[in-house]
Structure formats: structure tokens, C-alpha cells
Structure 1
Amino acid sequence: MARKMKVGIVGMGQGGTSIYKTLRSIEHVEIVVVCDCIESAKGMQFAQLDGVQTCVSVHDLAKVPGLDVIIEATGLDSIREQLEHNKEKSTAVIEAQGADLMMCIIEEKEKLADIKRVKGELDAILNSVQEAIEVASIDGMIKYVNPSFSRVTSINAGQRIGRNIFEVSPNGALARSLRTHEAVFAHRAVVGGADVEVIANASPIVVDGKMEGAVVVFQPLTDIYKLMEQLKASNQVISDLQTRINQISTSSYTFDDIIGSHPEFESALDLARKAARSNSTILITGESGTGKELFAHAIHGSSLRRDKPFIKVNCAAIPETLLESEFFGYEKGAFTGAVKTKLGKMELANGGTIFLDEIGDMNLYLQAKLLRVLQEMEFERVGGSQTINVDVRVIAATNRNLLEMAQKGDFRDDLFYRLNVVELRLPSLRNHKDDIPAYVHSLIAKFNRKFGKHVKGLTAQAEEILMQYDWPGNIRELQNVVERAMVTVDEEIITHKQILNLVDSSRTQHQEQIIEGIMPIEQMEKKMIRLALESYGDSVEGKKQAAKALKISLATLYNKLKVMS
């Protein structure tokens, strides 16, 4: 790094202050000391703020060691004589006019250094770009080509610079821009002097409103084609990912969403919690509407795969001819209409869980392919030959008796035993009707949020109808009935009349008593006790208040509760 020139200034009036301000901004100059007989002069204050040494004696300034130049800005001969008499021999003294010249020279040097630096940066940029660049003056004389020009055309700079573009490449974009004084875009041509077809863009070079030349930037068509192929491949990847994202879901329910206190139901729930912690295949059996899919969601949500995909397949809802391609996907061109490769459900579920609902409706051919996935964790897409490996946990569900189907030959027995590692049997709703009030309470809260209503519950007669009904559609039918009742109700309480319109009267016991508002005394007593506990709570204090409201003793209430349990 060059040594800075050390400067002192005498006379900090208007002229000296101007010199001070100018020199202060020059990189290679260091102002060491300033001097003025008036210590409060404005220039002296500037110097003090900048941390520059100040003095009021010319003699003191001249004795400051190491000064290269002293600028005398007072114009007084006496001051100049004192400086000449007291300064070091190596220190030069110049008057303000000479200082102005010196500053001009220094400023020009700084500008030249800036220009040199910008040129270096520009050269580095032009030399590093992958596109070929060629520059010509207004008369067509080629002045510059970058290294990429030589790489693309195999013409080195020495063979090109100094030639005239109108001679070597008269049909190119650069010559055309020079002739028309306009920009040229996406011009396809062969580079003069080289057998290379390119796509070029050219623009005029205008300085102070006058066109001085033009520049062309181009790429060979082979590079364009490569980029197009890469873009096509990237678009295919994006399309595949979009397809995968659109089809992938995660579990929507947890075990906290499952309600039920019946022993048979609690046993199934306990087994499901334990099975969730393993990777074993699970077969969920039960009538339609018993909550098989809800259990599958909860099992996945509590498993180690909960952060991975949860893919659902309803084997009964997909046409048999499409089931294989839905399961395993297909390659582009595998059949008419297969315009691109499609990922199957098994591949989408990789790392996670696949839920096969209504698996009893799967055909025997597809059962064999599914068995291979369960055994080997591998398959091929339809129309493909590449073996795809997956890591998938299978949860199957059915409302059919797969064992009987296997004995009749309608279901592969080896697949049945492979699926039936853990069997989860869900009871029908008619076998645990005691859970109906809890289900209804939960559903009313759900549909209040959905419909923006404020329904608080249902009458005892309405609840009795629900308890007497045998629910062939199980929990799904119950949900449907409550939702339809919620749509029509205008009050805060759902009545038995609204419920009667929604259930099959032939499946309801003791309907004539319910319609007339009459029921057996024993049932009425249980109903009243249940309502009292719902109103006052199940705590000891709540039971005391319930007994008081029912006008019975607390001991009698406990005895009746023991009989009811």
C-alpha cells in the first residue's frame, strides 16, 4: 500500500478551508496539522472536529516532523519567509495556487484509478459469462470478443479483433444492428467464419446520445436444446411432485376423537393403541359404519409413521379394471391415454401407511400382487419393468367374513393370514347403546360449529327413540340422523317428533309408548336419575343436590345407581 502524503496548511480562512475540505477527501493525502493566528477561525474548528492538530504559530507548524508539503494559503511574503527559514529541508512549501494544481493532478489520478478498477471488474464479468460476446465500432470494426466467443466458434481473439463485421459476418445480428441502429432479438444465423448456428441478441452502444457501435450476445443452438431438455425434465419432476402432493394426506383423527365406554369397545380401543406402536399389518373388521376408517386414522396418528403419508384406498369404489393402476401406478405409454407416468397409491404411501378399505372386494389377481408387496415390499408399475421398493404399513378393513370367503375360494387364504396379524373387531352400535348419549353430545357440539347454531341437547323422549332404535347403519347412521335433525331444528332442544321422522319406525321398539309420551315406570325412573346427574354433576355434592331434587335420600340414590350400572 502506497504511503500517504503528509500535509500541513497555513491560513485557515476561506481559501485554506476550501483546500482543507478538498484534501481531506483524497485517499492518498493525510492532513497532519493546520495553522492560523485566529484560533476560532472556521477552518480551525473543522480541523479540531476531525481530530487534526492545530496551532497559532507558523514556527510551531514548521517544526512538526515528517511533513512532505506545507501549503501556504495566506498570500503573505512574511509567512512564506518564516516557513522557509524554519521548515525541514525535505519539506516543500507551495502557495495556494500551486496547491490547486496539485489537487487537480491528485483528483485526476484518483479518477484514473477508478476507471482502471471499473475496467478490471468489467473484464472479469465479460470473461466469466457463458454467452459469447462480440463488440464492433460504428464502422463495423471488431474491437472485442470474450473467451466464450472463442469457445463457441473456435475462432481466437487474434483472428477476430481488427476484422470488419460487414465482411466476416454480414448476415449476423451485430451487422444488422449496426445497419438499422436498432436492437435485434432472437436472430438465428450461422457465425461468419465458423460453422456454428446460434441464437443472438444485439443492441446499439449509445454514448451521449450518439451511436458509437453495437454489441452482440449469442448461444449455440445445441446449448439451447440442452436447456430445453433440462427444462422439460424439470417440469416432469415438478409435475410428478405436484401429483404426489395432491394425493398425499395425513391422518385426520386421533384416539382422543374416539368415544366409547362399553367393555367390548374399550377392549378394541386398547388393542388398537398397542398395535399402533408396532409396524404389524392390521385387519379391522366390523359392520359398515362402525368407525373402521376412524380407527385406521388414529392408529397411523399414534405410530412412528405419523409424520409420513396416510393413503386411503376404497377397493369397492374403484372399477376393477382400474384398481391395479391405482394401486401400483403406470408408465407413460402403458395403455391408450397414459400420456405420462403416474405414481400409484403404494408408491405414494412409501414410508407411511396405506389403508385398504373394503378389501374383501379386491379381485384375486390383484390380491396376488398385494401379497407380493406385503412379503417382499416391491412391485412394478403397469407397463413397467423396473422394480420399485417401498416401506409401507398396511391397515385393511372389511365388513365381510374373509375367513369364510377364503374357505370358498373367493379370497386368497395366504393373503388373509398375511393381513390378519392383528385383528381388530369393532362392535356394532346396537351392542353398545350406552355410548349413544356421549356420541350425540359430541355430534351436537360438532354440528353447532358447522351450522352456527346453539342446540343444547335433546328431550328425554328423543333420546329414548335413539336408544330403542337398532341402528343398522351404526355410528355413521347416527351421525346422519343427528346432522339432519340439526339442520331442521329451530329451537335449542331436539324433540322426539324431529327424530321420529328420521329413523325407520319398523326398527324402533315400544314406539307407540314413546309417541304418546308413556314409558315404563322403571325406565322413567332411570331417565330422571340420569337427567338429574347431568344437571348437577357426578361429584358427591352433585349427587346430594340430585337426590334433593328427586326428593329421595342420598343412600337411596346410590342404591338405584348400583342397580343401573
Structure 2
Amino acid sequence: MIVRKVNDVCRKDNVKVMLRKSGSVRLVPANSMLSMITFFASEGDEIEIIVEGDSCISSMEEIKKIFLEDLKQINDESGTYELLKNTSIAYEEIFNSIAVGIIATDENGIITIFNKASERITGFSLDKAIGKNINEVMTDIDVSQVLRFGSEFLNKKYVIGEKTLFINITPIYAGGRITGSLVVFQDFPQIEYLEGELKRSRKLDKAFDIIVGNSGKLKDALTVASKAAETDSTVIIRGESGTGKELVANAIHYSSKRRDKPFIRVNCAAIPSALLESELFGHEKGAFTGAITQKIGKFELADGGSIFLDEIGDIPIEIQVKLLRVLQDKEFERVGGIRTIKVDVRIIAATNKNLEEAMKNGTFREDLYYRLNVIPIFLPSLRDRKEDIPVLVEHFIKKLNKKLGKNVQFVTNKAIKALIKYDWPGNIRELENLIERCITLSDKEYIDFDDLPSYIKNVKDSKDDEVIYLGDNYDIEKMENYEYKIIKAALSRYKSFNKAGKALGLTHKTVAAKARKFHLVEN
């Protein structure tokens, strides 16, 4: 109620309202739900209210009414007080125990959440950061595009002092509109940069040899994975289906200090939701119909080692609570059991789903997301690393010759060019299946263009496709007119500067500047 009513005043009068417990230096924005959850006041506590803005005197009268009159009408027979107290403590513990920096802002870019890892990485204290615009704390971080258009910046590189940060910036939604932004970042001081690109001088462990490819985007992801392997931090691997997430999880485990311990794999999407809890945590005899013996769960089997939770975005919401406890306290009870079981398990998760969208829809818990998103690794799709297709094809030919008893030696240049033109919606898995099909059906010692399926042979060169049809009898327009049409079409299709920029081969800043120039967006 406080957040809603204060927010109405802030919007109406264009003011900023901050709260502070008497004797404390910490200011908390009163119109931010996240901040207010972590700001818990007991009955009898003295609270200072600070209002900044042109209409602060009249606004203060409305704010005082909220606290002095409206709050008195609340009946706490339902136990709201205790619930808020416990929630406040839980949120504080969660945010401050996470090893990555977490900063939340409101819709104006004002910082509302600033955890301990953010203090360590940026050098700013909580008291000095809360209530400030994020640009005052991290000067080159721009959240305006996220707040304005909902565009996401994933795995953006940022250098602060001698530290290299990998930053994700995503919008926070409430009531169907953008109400703030979430900035999650991890520092990697050992990673060096050369001319804006990652200098890949770091030697990867042999466990990563199973991952084939030399593209820059893949190497960037593997460098982060290699660093993650040296710690026990939770890792979440994100990428489209078929990009090799399980291979990366495998490499992380077998290059870590847990390599001699169990590596347990669980495909959360392949197990019926009614059985998933028992599969993960085990059950006691008689816990439910058909439980005729005690069963050890996957977490117990993984004790001392790692557990890989594939497709974690498909875990039912009711099981997410129990999983959160394992992540936080490394303990659980079997289904139907009363004994608390403690385990030492490193969790590696993977998903091809948009977890930010799932949080917005209420199908994925926000606190679980923060717990999982300690070290995010983003695997590029095959269409974003097409330079790796020839080496992947060579790898699959060697692998499948042994499996199928064949002796295919190479793929012709014409066939390779056709494979590179194709967009590969099924990614590496689709490419491997295609090569297996060609090897199986071929009687030759090579794969030629004619051996490829028609849907690949019929893909045209992008340069042969006319992006804009001018007609047979046309007048040449000024370049600026074509530029306007292209920028407008890209923004209409992709809905954000970031995605439109990627499609056009431009930076998001260039697209934003041109969109403002052509009055496609408000200045």
C-alpha cells in the first residue's frame, strides 16, 4: 500500500520520497517494492521521511497522511507483520549472499537495490549508492534503452579500473509496464582486452576440448566457463536448443576440483512434474502410492560433486521453493521424510527459455533467478558463429564414420557454402543430424551439394535478395530517404535498438541516433 500510494504522489508531483530509520545513514526509495521489502520497520521505530522536488512541501503533507492515518487502518490479524519481517530478512540474506553484483533501479534510473557484491566491485558503499542515478555510480552504464523500450543487454563487456565486468541489463515489469531495470554483473580481473576484443591468452583445460569451434563469441563464453570451473559458484548456461549447453556443463565439472566426484545430469523437462520432486530429492517408503521402497534422489547422488539441471526453466513453481532452499542452505528433506539431509553439491543449470519473461509471467520465482544467475554463460547460436561450420563438419565426419562404419573423407566447397548460407534453427544438433543423414545415404567418399536436402540447397545468397524493390521505372531517391525506411522497418520488426542494430550491422547507439533524427521515437 505504501509503495502504491507514494508512487502516485511521486508521479503527480514529480518528487522523490526516501525513508530512513532514525540513527541510520541508509536511505530507501519509498516507491520501490524491492527496496521496501528490504526496509523493515517495527512498531515504535522512528522513521525519517525525506521529500525532494519542486512540490516537496505539498507532497510531504500527502506522504505524512499515508503514514499517520492510512497505516492505522490496517488490520494485521492475517499475520502480515510477521510475513513482511521474514520476507525482509530473507531478501537481505539472498541479495547479500550472492557473489555477483546486483543493482535494481526504478523507472528513472535511481538505484533502489545495491548488494554487498556491488559494493566490493564498484567501490561505492550502499549508503552512497541508494537514491543515486546509476550513471553516478557506474558512469558508462546506460539503462535508458532498457527503461524506455524494454531492450535487453546480455553479456555486455564493461571495464572499470583494472576489472573487466560482464553485465546483463534487463527490464523489470509490473502491471504490464516497465517499472525499473535490473543490472547483474560479475568481475573477472584476470581477463585482458585488446582493441575492444577479448584477448584469449588464457589456456583452457583439456576438458573443454570436446567443444569444437574457434569463433570469438564461442571463445568468450568458454573463457567465462573456464573461470567458473575454478570456483564452486552456481552457473547458469543459456542459449538456444542444440547449442551445446550440456557439453559446456560437462567441461566445467571435469575441469573443476570436483572432477573425481559424481556428475549427475537431470533433464527437468523430460520428467513428469508429479515425479520431479521425488527424482531430485528422493522419497521415503510409503510417502505416496507406489513408494514401496526408499529412493535416493539426484542431489544425494551428486554429494561432493556437481549436478546439472538441464531445462531448469521448466521446473514447476511449487518445486522451485524447495530448490531455492537447496541452493541457499544445501539441505532438504526427502518426500515424506522428516530428517534434514545436508549435501555439498555444485549446481550447474541450463535453459533455452527467457527467464526474465517467465518471472514477469509469474512462472519462475524471482529469488530463484537471482540464486541461479551467479555466473551466467551465454552460448551463441550456430547462425552467429557460421565461421565454425567447416570445422564442425570435419569433426562430425570423423565421429560419424566410426559410428556408421563409413569412409567419407570431405565435403565439397559448393556444399560447404550452402551449409553456411542456411540459418540452422536447430543449431549444432541439427548440423550433426544432417551430416549423419548425408553419410548414411551417400555411396561416395565425399558429400556434394546434390547430397544436401532441398531446403538447404534452395537457400539464396542474401545479396541476391532485394531488400527494397524499386520497380522497373523508378526515380532514385536521396540516401537519407532509404535510410529512414530501413531504420523504420528494422525497429518495427525487432522492437528495440539493440536487436535492430544487430540485424543492420550497426551499434544500438547509431540506430537510436538515427531513429531520433527521423523522429521515429521521442527525443
Which TM-score applies when normalising by structure 2? 0.48
Q: Which has the higher helix share?
A: 1
Which TM-score applies when normalising by structure 1? 0.45
Larger radius of gyration: 1
